Structure formats: structure tokens, C-alpha cells
Chains A and B, each alone.
Chain A
Amino acid sequence: MVVILGAPDADSAELYAETVINGDPSWTGPLAGVAMKLPVYHIMEPEIKAQIDPKVYEEHLGLMEIALEVNKIAVGLNRVRKNLKA
């Protein structure tokens, strides 16, 4: 089981990632204290993008990829995965 995110920025992507790995970091929702340890990636991370049909990727995500800071998102998610060992 894998979680794939479509978050628009690094901060929200990291928050989603922390939640599905270690549980809700704000301890306000139903996932507070629930460590699911799920692997989590953003749809635009190079590792995931490489597996997608380029035509379909371009059709659905081509425009958004220009607008989003993909590198920042990837760096943030890598840090969360490394620190929390998903």
C-alpha cells in the first residue's frame, strides 16, 4: 500500500506525509497517535513520474508541474521519510 499526494506545496506535503507515517502531528484529528507507517510520495517526484506514461502525465500534470515547486516538495518528503523511517 502506497500513499500518493497531489499537495501544492512542500509544507502541506510534509504534513500529509507525517500524518500517514507517524499519525497526526497536531493531535487534533482521528489519526492522532495512529502510526500507519505507510510509504508516501508526491505524484511529481522523479521516482514516481518515471513510472507514468509520459503522454498521460503531460496531459494531466504538465501544466501544474510548471506552477509547483517540485524540487522543494521532493526535498521535504525525502526528509520526512528519512527522519520517520517510512
Chain B
Amino acid sequence: MELNKKKVIIIGERDGVQGPAIEACVRTAGAEPLLVLTQCFV
């Protein structure tokens, strides 16, 4: 799946990878984040 120029929904998780960290990474691949979430189940 090529991320360049794709719109992305990011579902991060507090105990895994947080949304903003995923956002920073996918931006370097040329993707455009539309929604950035970090779920917490504690």
C-alpha cells in the first residue's frame, strides 16, 4: 500500500503507538492525516 498522497485515518493507542507519533511518521511518507486519535482503555 503506497502512502504517498493518500488520506489517512490514524488510530493510535496509549499502550501501543500514540496517534501523534504515527502522524509524524506517515507525513514523511507523503500521506495526509485526516483524523488522529489516541485510544486509552485504562
Contacts and interface: CB of A to CB of B under 8 A. Distances in A.
A68 interface: yes
Contacts of A2: 1, 3, 6-9, 31
Interface string A60-84: 1100100010000000000000000
Contacts of A3: 8-11
Contacts of B8: 1-4
A47 B13 contact: no
A52 B26 contact: yes
A50 to B, nearest CB: 9
B12 A6 contact: yes
A21 to B, nearest CB: 13
A31 to B, nearest CB: 12
B34 to A, nearest CB: 8
Interface of A: 1-9, 12, 16, 20, 38-39, 41, 43-44, 47-48, 51-53, 56-57, 60-61, 64, 68
Interface of B: 1-4, 6-13, 15-19, 21-22, 24-26, 28-31, 34, 38
